[in-house]
Structures are given as C-alpha cells and as structure tokens.
C-alpha cells in the first residue's frame, strides 16, 4: 500500500488482506499514520528520511 492514496483505501485493503501487507511510508510523510492503520498492516516500510520524520529523531542508526 502507498501513502499517496487516501488512508481509508489503505485501511480497507489492509483489513481485507488475508496475508502479508506492507505500507510504504512515502508520499504524505508529514501526515500522521493512524493507529488503526498501523495496527492493521503487517509491516511499515520507511526510507531513512521518512523514518526520521515518523520517529521525530535524527539518530536512527539503532533502528536500522
């Protein structure tokens, strides 16, 4: 799933998925990801810049 499409679409797809679901964090990085979506997807896939934004941290070496 991509954050470039509306979150309600991603949430619907994640709920309907009977398997593994991955959320690509690109796109609307400044918009928060809802707890409901995070609890529904299997994996969140940010790049370094997105991870810094999501965690509000510049020290991400321990997270990689």
Residue range 15-34, pLDDT digits in tens: 888 788 899 988 766 678 88
DSSP 32: P
pTM, rounded to two decimals: 0.72
Q: Rounded CA gap, 54 and 33, in Å?
A: 9
pLDDT average, residue stretch 40-44: 89
Which tokens belong to 33?
A: 């990801």
């Amino acid at each position: 799933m991509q954050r470039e499409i509306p979150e309600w679409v991603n949430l619907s797809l994640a709920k309907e998925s009977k398997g593994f679901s991955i959320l690509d964090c690109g796109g609307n990085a400044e918009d928060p990801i809802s707890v409901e979506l995070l609890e529904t997807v299997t994996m969140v896939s940010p790049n370094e810049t997105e991870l810094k934004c999501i965690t509000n941290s510049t020290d991400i070496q321990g997270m990689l």
